[in-house]
Structure 1
Amino acid sequence: MAKSLLICSALFLAVVASVIAAPAPKKQLSFNLCKKNDPNLDKCLKTSIQEVIPHLSEGYPKLRIPALEPFELPSLEIDHGKGSTKSVSIDLKLKDVKITGLTGTVIDSLKVDVDNYRMTGKVAFAKPIVITGAYTVNGKVLVLPITGNGPCSITLHDAILDLKDVSGTPYQKNGKTYVQIKKIDLKLVNIKKLNIKLENLFNGNKQLGDSMNTILNENWPVLLEELQPALEEVVATIAQDIVNKALQKTAYTDIFPQ
């Protein structure tokens, strides 16, 4: 779950940093520059980024933007205790994570404060976000114990991510102004449905495993409520890392020319 949202926000922000970079070796990447004093700057930037997103399936090596289809992560850990519900309490660890569907990212809204190095926005997904990997889990769901390890698949339908505040700090390098992102405050504000499949639960006991997967899918809002704070924290941390790597390659004054 986490990675889908994370990449979306990272993608959304990192593409902004890529506006004047050299094209990727395998293809031309065209980006319409938006001038700082453009009265329709927000609309211009939203349109420009949206046009680029579908072409980032293979990533953008010049700015260290990873491939989006699939997006890969070595691991993801979600610890229990950060959610508000007491019905679900689990430690979920994933490794060899792959996420598909991120090139279906749709920018619903965007607002940029160029002079104060801040941005807000809202991002939706036109495709289901599918996360696969190898999991280990321990904890309880509706007072029932859950334990297991093996392949897993998690699918998010119609997710919406609210970038509440993305703020940076300027610094000088080679006579130009660059920006480092210091804060990313984001919120998962909508998911129409979550599907989850954990194979090999309870040491491969098919009856218990099938029953637990049914419980998880029937009670997915409760599961999401428990996992959401940890997901948002992980998303913000990884997005900040990806965006800052891209911003190190591109001067802020080149992103928003006069």
Structure 2
Amino acid sequence: MFWVKTISVFTWILAVDCTIPSYIKVCSKNDPHIDVCIKESISYLRPQLASGIPELDVPSLEPLVIDHFQVNSGRDQARINLGVNDVKIWGASKFDITEVKVDEAQLSFFVKVLIPHLYFEATYDLDMQMLVLSYKGKGPMSGNLTDMVLTFQLNGEIINKNGVQYLHFPRVKNGMTLGKIEMSFGDEKFKSEVLGKGINQVLMENGDMIAEQFAPGLAEACEGLFTDIGNHITEAFPYEELFPL
């Protein structure tokens, strides 16, 4: 019995003895300007997010790595079905926080950011039909995304580990809009003067439509990643240490 109690006490000490690192700005739950404090805390954390935080198992945002997402637009004789795979995105850490809303009592956090420019590389699987022009193929692709607006809705809950409370997010809901998208496809068929020019013209003329469809697919692909990042940070430290009185 003595050893059982000793081990239990030792486990409890390990659970609560978590020193919050200097790169995490702590915000008091009673701060009347907690929205401002959370905004500053996220900004303060940005350099670490760019390079990654190995001790918290948080991956680097440079590049941001995504396995796959899908873009489907139109149907029949006017359709674009684009599978985007093995995606690497640079520029995600250059975000500007434009809005933060916090309801600490409800564990609700809303964050809106603007990312002026992103560059990405990936592989694609494209099936496109635009009237008489059709293309089906695979290959490398790259592109630029400008004026991306991201929204994050984090609805948290308190979980208990070894008698200590931690903040957990079941799922981070993302919203995304894109100002402009430019894409370049590396299939040999695109080197054909007639076909290449025709496809690129179609993509340029339908840029707004593609951007509208591109954003939801990318946002959905990012949800799991951002959920993991949030939880790796908040579940590393007791709730009362992250949000003291």
Asked if 2 retains the 8 angstrom alpha-carbon contact of 1:200 and 1:209, the reply is no
How far does the alpha carbon of each residue in 1:188-231 deviate from its partner, in whole angstroms, 9 at most, with x for none? Answer: 24x22111111116486454134312321332111123333333
Q: 2: CA distance between counterparts of 1:229 and 1:66?
A: 22
- Residue-by-residue CA offset, 1:24-44 (whole Å, 9 max, x unaligned): xxxxx5333211111111101
**Among residues 94, 113, 116, which one is paired with 2:106 in the alignment?**
116
Residue 41 (structure 2) aligned to one of 43, 48, 51? 48
Higher relative contact order by CA 8 Å / sep ≥ 6: 1 or 2? 1
**In the alignment, which of 53, 67, 76 is matched to residue 68 of structure 2?**
76
Give CA-to-partner distance per residue, 1:96-148, whole Å, 9 cap, x none.
Answer: x211111211111111222212111211014x111112222224356742322
Q: Secondary structure at the match of 1:208?
A: helix
Q: Percent identity?
A: 27
**What SS does structure 1 have at the residue aligned with 2:62?**
coil
Does structure 2 retain, via aligned residues, the 8 Å contact 1:88–1:222?
no
Q: What residue number does 1:194 align with?
A: 181
Q: Which residue of 2 aligns with 1:88?
A: 79
Question: Is 1:208 equivalent to 2:208 in the alignment?
Answer: no
Contact 1:176 1:253 in 2 (8 A): no
What SS does structure 2 have at the residue aligned with 1:123? strand
Structure of greater Rg: 2
User: CA 1:142–1:111 in structure 2 vs 1: closer, same or farther (change >3 Å)?
Assistant: farther
Counterpart for residue 141 of structure 2: 152
Pairwise CA RMSD? 2.5
After TM superposition, the score normalised by the length of structure 1 is: 0.77
Quick check: 1:181 aligned with 2:169? yes
Unaligned runs of 5+ in 1: 1-18, 23-28
Residues 38-67 of structure 1 deviation map (CA, whole Å, 9 limit, x = unaligned): 111110110121132134322111111111
**Taking structure 2 as the reference length, what is the TM-score of the superposition?**
0.80
